């Protein structure tokens, strides 16, 4: 990880955004409520297992909103499966508004955790030594709870935004057949349509020995795709090899892929990322970063930077063989040889476009190149949908985000990044809605326990994220 500085030119000193107002801190009552919601969510098992039930969690939150006086039509529980119901909450603007809403997108499911692997019960909310322990304390029930508490507080205070604020609490981000984000944007666009999405499942503040060093904001994502490459052969006895051979044909194709370099690309997010990074680097690396940003870009500089995998992944689509399987006996010619090729596709290209490209790279009509969905289903063609090419990071998000982050963690640079992983943001990006991944959770760099054992969150980080989301919601909704 590198320390980056912000140079977005989005926030001008002297603008009203810089008017120094002390960040309001949640009262003891608000903290108690937020802690109670967090505890309740941690103690409801929302894994995609027979014991898990997302609906138990979303309906518990629905009850809180209804009890608080939200109108029933603004607290919608819906989904394609009884155990995977999503909750969509709307804090309405005062009167008529032409401004599109802001959507906070939060998944409610968690990864399975085994009691035998943990020092505490993963489905019990335990406060110990300044930490909250439990499955989902980092990913991402802390943000679910902070946003539920924030929406309840804004409603109780009679806050009327200038645009609707929407909170979607969804199923099956971590796995499972009923991804709520995808289902909502496709089946109920009217409920979740927004000018942009804030997804606290990504980004956040990185701490080193308690000191905030950088705040990352996921401003675009690559698309994850798997492809199954298969060579078949009549086979036969291995004492009588034939010129055609499934293993050799497959490995020859994979070697072509190994030698292939996808075209160099930049978008507005990676441009800002490398601009910021160049200011932190020195020598040849800094010069190369500036050279790729020039018009026309210096491709030799891009090639030098690409030697570093983390830079390379920001400069192009990548595809790499990750699994291999062939043959059925030591003394038989393989009848099948199969590989999985995992691609991380640069925004603006579809999986089908990359599948066609792979076919071209292999140049062997005897090989089949099929798409493997997240659910493991294999199909002859891949989706045509492409993630939108991200616009320049938008000021109405980055200005308040930067201001509030720096009020809470003074001096911390904020930088937009392209995520190489995948979150639910991708479904909204494919629907043409810009998404920003930011959790306002501060974690030590070496204490990332998402999906792991003894997942925990510093209590102090929870209070800070609560203060952040309250102020950020008001900044986005209009003070
Ligand atoms: Zn997550």
Return d(Cα 204, Cα 222) in angstroms, integer.
18
Q: How far, in Å, from the CA of 143 to the mean position of ligand 1?
A: 10
Question: Which stretches of 100-194 are assigned E, i.e. beta strand?
Answer: 102-107, 126-128, 131-133, 165-170
Most distant CA pair in the chain, distance: 83
- Structure tokens belonging to residue 208: 């080193």
Distance from C-alpha of 262 to C-alpha of 257, rounded to nearest angstrom: 10
Question: CB of 469 within 8 A of CB of 426?
Answer: no
Q: How many angstroms does the Cα of residue 424 sit away from the middle of ligand 1? A: 9
Phi, psi of 250, rounded to the nearest 5 degrees? -65, -45
Query: Does an H or E element contain 33, and which?
Result: helix 28-42
How many Å lie between the centroid of ligand 1 and the Cα of residue 173? Answer: 7
pLDDT the model gives residue 422: 80
Ligand 1 mean position, distance from CA 171 (Å) = 11
Using CA atoms, how far residue 128 sits from 138, 455, 457, in Å, is 15, 12, 10
Alpha helix (H) residue ranges in 125-200: 141-156, 180-187, 189-192
Query: Ligand 1 center to residue 450 CA distance, Å?
Result: 8
- 44 CA → ligand 1 middle, Å: 16
Predicted confidence at residue 8, as pLDDT, reads 34
Q: How far is the CA of 142 from the centre of ligand 1 (A)?
A: 11
Q: Which residues does the chain have with pLDDT short of 70?
A: 1-22
- CA 370 vs. chain centroid, Å, equals 25
Separation between Cα atoms, residue 350 and residue 346, nearest integer Å: 9
- Of 152, 230, 176, 239, the C-alpha closest to 469 is 152
The CA 22 to ligand 1 mean position distance, Å, reads 31
- pLDDT digits over 288-342, tens only? 999 999 999 999 999 999 999 989 999 999 999 999 999 999 999 999 999 999 9
How far is ligand 1, taken at its centre, from the CA of residue 461, in Å? 17
Distance 141 CA to ligand 1 centre (A): 9
**Distance from the CA of 302 to the center of ligand 1, in angstroms?**
32
């Amino acid at each position: 990880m590198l320390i980056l500085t912000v140079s977005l030119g989005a926030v001008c000193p002297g603008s009203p955004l810089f008017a120094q107002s002390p960040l309001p801190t949640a009262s003891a009552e608000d903290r108690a409520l937020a802690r109670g919601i967090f505890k309740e969510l941690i103690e409801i098992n929302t894994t995609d297992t027979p014991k898990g039930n997302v609906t138990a969690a979303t309906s518990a939150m629905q009850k809180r909103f209804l009890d608080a006086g939200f109108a029933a039509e603004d607290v919608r529980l819906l989904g394609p499966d009884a155990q995977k119901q999503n909750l969509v909450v709307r804090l309405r603007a005062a009167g008529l508004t032409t401004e599109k809403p802001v959507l906070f997108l939060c998944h409610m499911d968690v990864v399975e955790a085994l009691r035998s692997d943990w020092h505490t019960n993963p489905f019990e909310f335990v406060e110990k030594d300044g930490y909250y322990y439990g499955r989902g304390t980092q990913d991402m029930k802390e943000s679910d709870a902070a946003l539920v508490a924030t929406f309840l507080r804004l409603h109780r205070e009679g806050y009327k935004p200038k645009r609707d604020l929407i909170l979607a609490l969804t199923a099956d981000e971590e796995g499972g057949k009923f991804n709520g984000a995808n289902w909502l944007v496709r089946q109920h666009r009217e409920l979740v349509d927004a000018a942009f999405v804030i997804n606290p499942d990504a980004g956040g503040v990185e701490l080193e020995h308690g000191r905030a060093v950088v705040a990352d904001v996921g401003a675009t994502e690559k698309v994850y795709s798997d492809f199954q490459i298969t060579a078949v052969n009549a086979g036969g006895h291995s004492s009588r090899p034939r010129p055609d051979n499934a293993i050799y044909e497959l490995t020859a194709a994979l070697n072509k892929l190994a030698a292939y370099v996808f075209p160099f690309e930049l978008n507005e997010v990676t441009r800002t990322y490398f601009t910021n990074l160049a200011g932190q680097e020195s020598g040849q690396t800094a010069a190369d970063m500036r050279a790729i940003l020039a018009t026309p870009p210096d491709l030799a500089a891009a090639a030098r930077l690409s030697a570093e995998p983390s830079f390379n992944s920001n400069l192009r689509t990548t595809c790499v063989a990750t699994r291999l399987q062939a043959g059925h006996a030591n003394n038989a010619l393989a009848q099948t040889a199969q590989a999985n090729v995992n691609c991380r596709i640069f925004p603006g290209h579809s999986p089908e476009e990359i599948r066609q490209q792979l076919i071209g790279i292999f140049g062997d009509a005897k090989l089949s190149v099929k798409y493997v969905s997240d659910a493991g289903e294999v199909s002859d063609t891949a989706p045509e949908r492409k993630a939108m090419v991200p616009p320049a990071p938008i000021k109405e998000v980055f200005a308040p985000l930067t201001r509030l982050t720096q009020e809470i963690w003074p001096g911390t640079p904020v930088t937009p990044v392209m995520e190489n992983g995948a979150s639910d943001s991708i479904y909204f990006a494919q629907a043409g809605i810009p998404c920003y991944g930011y959790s306002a959770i501060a974690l030590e760099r070496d204490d990332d326990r998402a999906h792991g054992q003894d997942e925990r969150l510093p209590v102090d980080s929870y209070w800070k994220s609560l203060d952040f989301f309250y102020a950020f919601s008001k900044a986005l909704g209009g003070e």
